């Protein structure tokens, strides 16, 4: 292990850390490997003794066969035991590391997950784990057994005939050097092949997630062209890697053959001159065959270790990332008095919110209005602590948001997202998503979101399972389930992100009444496009290009804010149908 550790420099030391908690398992593994391989080394000696005994004329087959069989059975037992321990250890390591990583992820902030990207984390949890697993499953025992065989064979060779032994062992550095040169080049290609795989994955993912629009536009050819480009690079990199190995393997075989040749020429000379017995000559041939394979194995394993190290580093990066979430200690109940002071936020170094300040009194209803891409959704994300502002403060009841204990805080805030987000679970589980939900609060939420009739039409009622992307539900049904999910926690503050966009007017009206009746004290903050629905709200905030350009009640804004009037006019023509 030491030699290969040195070979790959400092980055290898990391991967061996993985093994630390499994020291006893590894010890057992190494022990079994040593016994199994040690026994393997005895076989040629038995053969040589047998032949020499036969030459000397005192050969009896029975003890010879018994010895041979005993050793064979031992080898079988120990290699099988070794393989069991090996599979068990590697799967344990992968499971535990995955668990550790998922637990770490579960404590991270939303912006952290966004920054790293779900697909990258998916790679961490799947293919990176696979290569760590491979390391544990193959590298550890292979290297141990290879070293034992190389060392053992070398000693035996030198013992039998040191001059011939040295000639044969002299071939090892030749193989090592060619390995070193080729693998160095392969490393670069491997890195490239990972990038190509990422590229392939991206094309595949988009073609799956965008399946509907691709079929509407009939752009399969275009997708195929994108894919072919990535696929072709994958092929080219594959062939480049292969060419390197195509050079390496014949060279190794050739060097091994040279060793055989040396035994024939040099060893033959010794046999003729009488310094080597014909049995030993045979043994030499067997040992050379045994010697070559482990050298190749070590070469390949050093490559596997390098790959596993790179994977482990990626995993470790996530595991070691410092905790950004400050726990917070304030647990007091919210009334809904919210104040934002001089909030600045940027995304990808583009400003999203500029100097936003406003104050919302508890129990009131506030609307946020503004054009597309004004930063409205980000404002809600800020107020729920999903993202953190670059500067400025957000206070609930005069206490900074970050000082609240997260669990207590989120229990009191209901957020209805703009995108419909459904989980592949029953409707009941989708709505009662928080652990705080009781049967009563669940029923009240379902009543308020006007879901009763819909649920009644389902085969298994509330226990009907929703398919992954909620494809079996209409847009409006999904939105109402999302509302019920937020309401089921009995929140003090309800944040709605363009909730009414996909709900028909009748249902929307009913839901509004239900909200007033069933949750009279709730503070409501609603992003919306429809002025008619918010005319009687206590506060309307007009947001444009990240700035608050006006705030006040409907009549005030009509008098003071031309942009508001413009929005109002754009909807006015249908106002005679309003409720």
Partner 1 sequence: MNYNLNEIIGDQKKMKGKGFLSAARTLVSSMVEEKRLLILAFLAMLVSAVLSLLGPVMIGYTVDHYILPGDYHGVLVFSSILLVMYLISLGTGYVQTKLMGTVGQRMLYTLRNSLFNKLQELPVDFFNQNKAGDLISRINNDTEKINQFFSQSLMQFLRSILIMLGAAVFLLTLNPELGLATLAPALGILIFTQLISPWVKRKNSLAMKTMGSLSSEVQESLNNFNVIVAFNRRDYFRDRFRLVNEENYKASLKSGLANNLLMPVYSFFSNIGQLIVLIFGIYLIAKGHFSLGLLISFLAYSSNFYNPLRQMAALYANFQVALAGWDRIRVILNMQNNMLVLNAEEKLEKTETILHFKDVSFRYPGGKEVLSGINFSLEKGKTYAFVGPTGGGKTTTASLIARLYDPVKGTIYLDGEDIRSYPHDERARRIGFILQDPFLFSGTVRENILYGNEQYQHYSAEDLRAVIRDAGLESLLERFSEGLEAKVQVNGDGISLGQKQLIAFMRAVLRKPDILILDEATANIDTVTEQLLEQVLEKLPEKTTKVIIAHRLNTIENAEKIYFVNSGEVTLAGSLRQAVEMLLHGKRDS
**441 forms part of the interface with partner 1 (CB under 8 A):** no
Q: Which stretch binds partner 1 (CB under 8 A): 3-11, 12-20, 66-74, 304-312?
A: 66-74
Q: Which stretch binds partner 1 (CB under 8 A): 155-163, 241-249, 360-368, 390-398?
A: 241-249
Residue (of 58, 65, 136, 62) closest to 97 by Cα position: 136
Find all residues with CB under 8 Å of 498, minimum gap 6, and list them: 376, 418, 527, 528, 529
Minimum Å gap between C-beta 270 and partner 1 is 10
Name which position in 11, 56, 63, 122 contacts partner 1 (CB under 8 A).
122
Q: Which stretch binds partner 1 (CB under 8 A): 147-155, 306-314, 328-336, 372-380?
A: 372-380
**199 forms part of the interface with partner 1 (CB under 8 A):** no
Q: Give the 3-state secondary structure of residue 114.
A: helix
Residue (of 79, 76, 68, 72) closest to 145 by Cα position: 79
**201 forms part of the interface with partner 1 (CB under 8 A):** yes
3-state SS of 125-165?
Answer: HHHHHHHHHHHHHHHHHHHHHHHHHHHHHHHHHHHHCHHHH
**426 forms part of the interface with partner 1 (CB under 8 A):** no
Q: Is 379 exposed, middle or buried (0-12, 13-18, 19+ CB in 10 A)?
A: buried
Per-residue string for binding with partner 1, 1-30, x by CB under 8 A?
------------------------------
Minimum Å gap between C-beta 482 and partner 1 is 9
How many residues lie near partner 1 (CB under 8 A)?
175
Q: Which is nearer to partner 1, 121 or 164 (CB)?
A: 121
Q: Which residues of 437-463 are buried (b: 16+ CB within 10 A; e: fewer)?
A: beeebbebbbebbbbeebbeeeeeebe
Q: Which is nearer to partner 1, 19 or 105 (CB)?
A: 105
Segment 450-469, which members bind partner 1 (CB under 8 A)? 454, 467-469
Minimum Å gap between C-beta 9 and partner 1 is 25
Segment 475-494, which members bind partner 1 (CB under 8 A)? 475-477, 479-480, 485, 489
Per-residue string for binding with partner 1, 153-192, x by CB under 8 A?
----------------------------------------
Give the C-alpha separation, 443 to 445, whole Å: 5
Give the C-alpha separation, 312 to 310, whole Å: 5
Q: Which is nearer to partner 1, 3 or 575 (CB)?
A: 575
Segment 244-273, which members bind partner 1 (CB under 8 A)? 245-247, 249-251, 253-254, 257-258, 260-261, 264-265, 268-269, 271-272
Report the alpha-carbon angle 449-454-460, nearest 5: 120
Which backbone phi and psi does 293 adopt, to 5 degrees?
-55, -50
Minimum Å gap between C-beta 127 and partner 1 is 7
Q: Which stretch binds partner 1 (CB under 8 A): 7-15, 123-131, 182-190, 353-361?
A: 123-131
Rounded-to-5 percentages of helix, strand, coil across the chain: 70, 10, 20
Segment 524-543, which members bind partner 1 (CB under 8 A)? 529-530
- Cβ pair 287, 157 in contact under 8 A: yes
- Cβ pair 416, 496 in contact under 8 A: yes
Segment 292-351, which members bind partner 1 (CB under 8 A)? 347-348, 350
Which backbone phi and psi does 474 adopt, to 5 degrees?
-80, 165
Identify the residue whose tokens are 């847009």.
475
**448 forms part of the interface with partner 1 (CB under 8 A):** no
């Amino acid at each position: 292990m030491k030699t290969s550790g040195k070979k790959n420099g400092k980055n290898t030391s990391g991967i061996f850390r993985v093994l630390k908690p499994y020291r006893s398992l590894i010890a057992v593994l190494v022990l079994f490997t040593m016994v199994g391989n040690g026994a393997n080394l005895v076989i040629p000696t038995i053969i040589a003794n047998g032949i020499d005994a036969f030459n000397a004329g005192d050969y009896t087959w029975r003890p010879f066969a018994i010895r041979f069989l005993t050793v064979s059975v031992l080898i079988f037992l120990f290699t099988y035991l070794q393989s069991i321990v090996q599979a068990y250890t590697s799967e344990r390591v992968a499971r535990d590391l995955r668990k550790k990583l998922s637990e770490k992820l579960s404590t991270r902030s939303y912006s952290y997950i966004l920054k790293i990207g779900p697909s990258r984390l998916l790679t961490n949890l799947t293919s990176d784990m696979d290569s760590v697993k491979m390391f544990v499953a193959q590298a550890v025992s292979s290297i141990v057994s290879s070293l034992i065989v190389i060392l053992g064979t070398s000693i035996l060779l030198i013992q039998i005939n040191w001059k011939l032994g040295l000639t044969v062992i002299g071939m090892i550095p030749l193989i090592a050097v060619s390995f070193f040169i080729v693998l160095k080049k392969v490393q670069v290609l491997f890195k490239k092949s990972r990038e190509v795989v990422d590229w392939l994955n991206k094309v595949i993912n988009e073609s799956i997630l965008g399946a509907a629009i691709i079929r509407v536009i009939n752009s399969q050819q275009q997708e195929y062209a994108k894919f072919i480009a990535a696929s072709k690079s994958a092929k080219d990199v594959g062939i480049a890697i292969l060419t390197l190995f195509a050079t390496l393997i014949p060279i190794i075989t050739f060097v091994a053959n040279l060793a055989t040749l040396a035994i024939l020429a040099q060893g033959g000379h010794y046999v003729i001159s009488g310094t080597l017995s014909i049995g030993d000559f045979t043994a030499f041939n067997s040992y050379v065959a045994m010697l070559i394979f482990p050298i190749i194995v070590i070469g390949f394993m050093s490559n596997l270790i390098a790959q596993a190290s790179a994977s482990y580093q990626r995993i470790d990066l996530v595991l070691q990332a410092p905790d950004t979430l400050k726990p917070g200690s304030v647990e007091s109940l919210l009334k809904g008095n919210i104040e934002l002071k001089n909030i600045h936020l940027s995304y990808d170094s583009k400003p999203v919110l500029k100097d936003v300040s406003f104050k919302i009194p508890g129990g009131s209803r506030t609307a946020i209005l503004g054009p597309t891409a004004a930063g409205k959704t980000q404002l809600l994300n800020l107020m729920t602590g999903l993202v953190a502002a670059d500067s400025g403060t957000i206070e609930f009841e005069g206490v900074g948001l970050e000082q609240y204990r997260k669990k207590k805080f989120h229990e009191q805030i209901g957020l209805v997202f703009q995108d419909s987000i459904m989980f592949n679970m029953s409707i009941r589980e989708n709505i009662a998503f928080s652990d705080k939900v009781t049967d009563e609060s669940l029923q009240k939420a379902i009543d308020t979101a006007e879901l009763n009739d819909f649920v009644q039409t389902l085969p298994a009622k509330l226990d009907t399972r929703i398919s992954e992307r909620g494809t079996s539900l209409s847009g409006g049904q999904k939105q109402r389930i999302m509302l019920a999910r937020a309401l089921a926690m009995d929140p003090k503050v309800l944040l709605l992100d363009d909730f009414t966009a996909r709900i028909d007017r009748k249902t929307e009206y009913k839901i509004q009444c239900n909200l007033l009746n069933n949750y009279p004290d709730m503070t409501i903050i609603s992003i919306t496009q429809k002025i008619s629905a918010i005319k009687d709200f206590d506060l309307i905030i007009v947001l444009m290009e990240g700035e608050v350009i006006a705030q006040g009640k409907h009549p005030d804004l009509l008098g003071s804010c031309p942009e508001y009037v413009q929005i109002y006019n754009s909807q006015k023509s249908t106002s005679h149908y309003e409720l």
